[in-house]
Copies of this chain bind each other. A is one copy, B any other.
Amino acid sequence: MQVGFTGGWLDRVDHLRGNAEAVAALLGDWRAKLLKLDGGDPALDADGKLAWVSIADAAPDGEAILLGLDGGGKPCFAECRPGDVGGPARSLALFRMLEMLPAGEAAIFGAARSLTGWHARHRFCANCGGPTAIYRAGWARKCPACAAEHFPRVDPVVIMLAEFEGRALLGRGAPWPKGRYSALAGFVEPGESMEEAVAREVFEEAGVRVSNVHYVASQPWPFPGQLMIGAFATAESDVLTIDTNEIEDAIWVTKDEVRAALAGQDAPFLPPPHYAIAHSLLEAWVRNG
């Protein structure tokens, strides 16, 4: 199943990250490349792929994050600069780029965006309040005062289609583009399984009890750093009790309506973009019958 933000082809060379000498050698490699990011957004080259510059263009006071080695063995870096804030803001230009970017390119951008944003928002030690320093080639930070190690966050989120008698439940967030509906979603909390989180979230947001939760696929989502876990579930009723603090509206849609929406035809809702796993879930749902 094809999902967005997957298929990055860099070798992440985890075994080298903790080796300061090896990382210094990669940084000193004249072939080393730096991903071009502008306020967290990628730049595209003439072929519509991610643009890279030489590591020589890195800021002298920036922190270099080793994304990995490309197929030719060239070291690939991203950098976090002192003024970066790592906010979750997304521009219209970014949305347009994501519409065009191949999934594998988006995966590499996604890793870079998640990591640079995490560094920008985690310059201090949550354990003691002191300033932290980059560690393990950008895959951690370490506190020189209390020795605590901190690792980039990946927050698991469940995203699901609950089905009741041939119709699937979609919801919309208040700030979304007009007409857009998508799969319900929510963060997995401490002390619950993926399956329990699916049931809790659908009940919290729409007042619907579900069972029979089935995993479908997963996707990294770099705004700022989620692991989206996509699932199907069976609803016990189609009576909605919407929590308007969580979603603005929810609707039940048929497979024909979803097919029309995905095909860009006249439909009761605008579907999520192709690079969102909700799109992949809808495609998988209409394919099954």
Task: Find chain B residues with CB under 8 A from A115 CB.
Answer: 190-191
Task: Find chain B residues with CB under 8 A from A218 CB.
Answer: 193-195
Identify the closest chain B residue to A18 (Cβ): B245
| Closest Cβ–Cβ distance, residue A78 to chain B (whole Å) | 10
Inter-chain contact A220/B191, CB cutoff 8 Å: yes
- Kindly state the separation between the CA atoms of A196 and B217 in the bound complex, as whole angstroms: 11
- State how many residues of chain A have any CB contact under 8 Å with chain B: 58
Inter-chain contact B148/A121, CB cutoff 8 Å: yes
Inter-chain contact B215/A111, CB cutoff 8 Å: no
Given A122-B126, A188-B227, list of 18 further CB < 8 A pairs?
Answer: A5-B191, A6-B196, A8-B192, A14-B200, A110-B191, A111-B189, A112-B191, A115-B190, A121-B127, A121-B148, A124-B125, A125-B126, A129-B131, A139-B189, A153-B155, A154-B188, A154-B190, A193-B217
Top 10 A-B pairs ranked by shortest CB distance? A111-B191, A124-B129, A114-B190, A215-B215, A194-B218, A122-B126, A156-B156, A129-B129, A193-B218, A126-B126
A–B pairs, 10, beta carbons within 8 Å? A6-B193, A6-B195, A15-B243, A125-B129, A129-B131, A154-B187, A190-B225, A191-B222, A194-B218, A194-B227
